[in-house]
Chain A
C-alpha cells in the first residue's frame, strides 16, 4: 500500500501562447459562459473555458426543434444564439474573469468585417486569453462553415482577423471537408497560433411518419461520442502535417477519450456534449488524466503528446 510516493504529474501546457494549467477546456457552445456550470464545477480547476460563440450583434438563433438525439450523439441546429459582443463584455466576461482559468472567446460573423469587428473589441478587453475563430458552424446560412470549407475564404478571413488582434488566435476547423490538413496549413499561413478540431459533422435525421426532418433547420451538427473516431483521426492527420498546437475535441466523455486525442497529437482537449450529460464531465476527465499519468509514472503531458506508435 505504502510504496514510494509518486510525483504529481505536470499537466501544464502552452497552447499557441495561451498558458494552460492543465489541458482540459470546454468546447464552445456546450458550457455557456461558465456561469451555467459554476454550480457544479470549480472553474478554477479548468485549464480554460472556451465560451459560446459571440457575434457582433445579438442573434436569436434558429426556430425549434433545435436538437435531436442520435445513437451515442446528438444533432443540433441552435443557430449560434448569443447576446452579442457588447453584452458579453459587460455581463458575461466579468464573471469569468474572477476565476483563475484561461478564457478563450469563440467568435463568428456573417461577413469577414463582422469577425474583424468582434476581434477588435476583444483585443481591447481585459481578461481574454485568446480568440477561437469559428469558421465551421454548419447551422448558419451565411457565416461559419461557408468560410471554413473554402481554402481561399479561410485564408482571407483568418488573415483579416490576425491583423487586428495581438491575442493568440485559434482557428476552429470544420470536419466537413475532404482534407482537413489543407485548412490547417491555410490557418497557419494566415498567422494563427493554434487549431481547434473538430467542429460538428453535418448530419440529418428524418421522422418517417411525418416525413419531415427532425430539426426545423433540416440539417444539424452531429456531436457526442459517435463522432470521436473521426475526430481522433483528423487530429492525428493534422499533427502529422501542421506544426501548430491542436485543441482536440469531438465526443470526449472520459479521461481515456481525452488521452486518445493527446496521443494523436493534441496539446489540449475540449469536453463538449458530455457537459450536457454530466455537468462534472470536465473535472472527471481532468482527474482521470492525472490519475493515469500518476499510475503510468508519466511526469509531463509532453511525454504523451503525439506519442501514438505505429503498428
Chain B
C-alpha cells in the first residue's frame, strides 16, 4: 500500500502576491495528513527530467481539510517554471515532511521572529497558537517594504498576534533596521515575568543572531532551517547542517525545526 504522502496536488489558485511573492493554493487528497506548523512538502515543478529534483516549500495556511497555501519567491529556474503553472495543473507532491515546531507548554509566551521569505511556516504556527489562546509577540523583518509578507498575510499576522513589530533595512515600512534590533531588547527586558519560547524562520544569518540573543537571555529557541534538498526523506544526506555536538543533522528528517542550541552556527 503506497503511502498517502506521495500524491498529486492540483493547483486551485496561483497568483502574484505583492511584488516579490507568489501565492499557490493546492488541492490535496483527503488521505494526506494535514501539515503541522513547520512541516514542508516537496513539489516537482515539471513532469520532465529538467529540472530534475523536487523543491521544498513551507506551508503558510491550511485552508480546508483538502487545501493548503504556499508562498514562494522566484529564486531560480525551478521556482521560475513553477510560477508559470496555471490552475488545474497537477504537481507531484511529497509530504508533509520533517519535524515541525513543538507547541509551547501552557502559560508560555511565544515569540515569533521571521525575516525575508521565511514567514510561511511561522504564519501557520501563529494561527495554531492563536487557536489555542496563546498571546504571541511577532517580529517581522525584511530588506524593504516589498519583501514583507503580502498584505493579506501581514494582516493575518496582526490578527494572530498580541503585538506585532516590523522592521525594514531601508526604513520603507515599520522601523528602520534589522529585526534583531527590536527583538533583542524585547528578549532582554529585565522585568520579564512570563516565561517565553522563541520560534524563528528566515535567512541563516538572522537565525544565528536570533539564537545568540535567545542563549544570552536563556530563552528556549526553535529555528526552522533551509538547505538544498534532493529526496526530502533522509536518504540522500544532501541537506545536512553542522551539529554542535559534532557530525551533522538532516534538515529534512531531524529538522527542518531544530532547537537553536543543537546547531553549530
Please give the residue numbers on chain A whose beta carbons come within 8 Å of chain B beta carbons, in ascending order.
29-32, 36-37, 39-40, 52, 60-61, 63-69, 71-74, 76, 78, 81, 224-225, 253, 273, 275-280
Contact = CB atoms under 8 A, between A and B. Distances in A.
Given A65-B227, A225-B52, A276-B236, 4 more contacts: A31-B235, A253-B49, A273-B52, A277-B49
Given A60-B247, A60-B248, A37 B235 contact: yes
Nearest to B247: A60
A72 B3 CA distance: 26
A273 B230 CA distance: 9
Nearest to B250: A81
Contacts of A278: 92
Contacts of A67: 228-230, 236, 238-239
B248 A81 contact: yes
B234 A66 contact: no
A277 B54 contact: yes
Most chain-B CB neighbours within 10 Å: which of A32, A68, A76?
A32
B50 A71 contact: yes
A66 B50 contact: no
A276 B239 CA distance: 12
Given A68-B228, A225-B52, A276-B53, A39 B237 contact: no
B167 interface: no
B235 A81 contact: no
Contacts of B190: none
Q: Is the interface of A mostly helix, strand, loop or mixed?
A: loop
Q: Which 10 residue pairs of A and B lie closest in terms of their CB atoms, listed nearest first?
A: A67-B238, A32-B235, A276-B231, A276-B230, A36-B235, A39-B3, A60-B247, A72-B50, A78-B237, A225-B49
Contact of B237 (A66, A68, A73): A66
Contacts, number: 94
A278 B3 CA distance: 12
Q: Is the interface of B mostly helix, strand, loop or mixed?
A: loop
A156 to B, nearest CB: 30
Nearest to B240: A64
A64 B227 contact: yes
B2 interface: yes
Contacts of B94: 279
A307 B76 CA distance: 43
A32 B230 contact: no
B246 interface: yes
A205 to B, nearest CB: 12
Contacts of B235: 30-32, 36-37, 52, 275-276
B51 interface: yes
Contacts of B49: 72, 224-225, 253, 277
B237 A81 contact: yes
Contacts of A81: 237, 240, 248
Contacts of A277: 44, 49, 52-54
27 contacts: A30-B236, A32-B234, A32-B235, A37-B233, A37-B235, A39-B3, A60-B246, A61-B248, A63-B242, A64-B227, A64-B239, A64-B242, A65-B228, A66-B237, A66-B240, A69-B53, A69-B228, A72-B50, A74-B52, A74-B53, A76-B238, A78-B236, A78-B238, A81-B240, A273-B230, A275-B231, A276-B53
Nearest to B94: A279
Given A39-B3, A64-B241, A279 B233 contact: yes
A73 B49 CA distance: 8
A26 to B, nearest CB: 10
Contacts of A36: 231, 233-235
Nearest to A66: B238
B6 interface: yes
Nearest to B228: A67
A200 to B, nearest CB: 13
Interface in B40-69: 44, 49-54
Given A66-B237, A69-B53, A74-B53, A280 B6 contact: yes
A224 B48 CA distance: 13
Nearest to B232: A276
Most chain-B CB neighbours within 10 Å: which of A64, A72, A275?
A64
Contacts of A30: 235-236
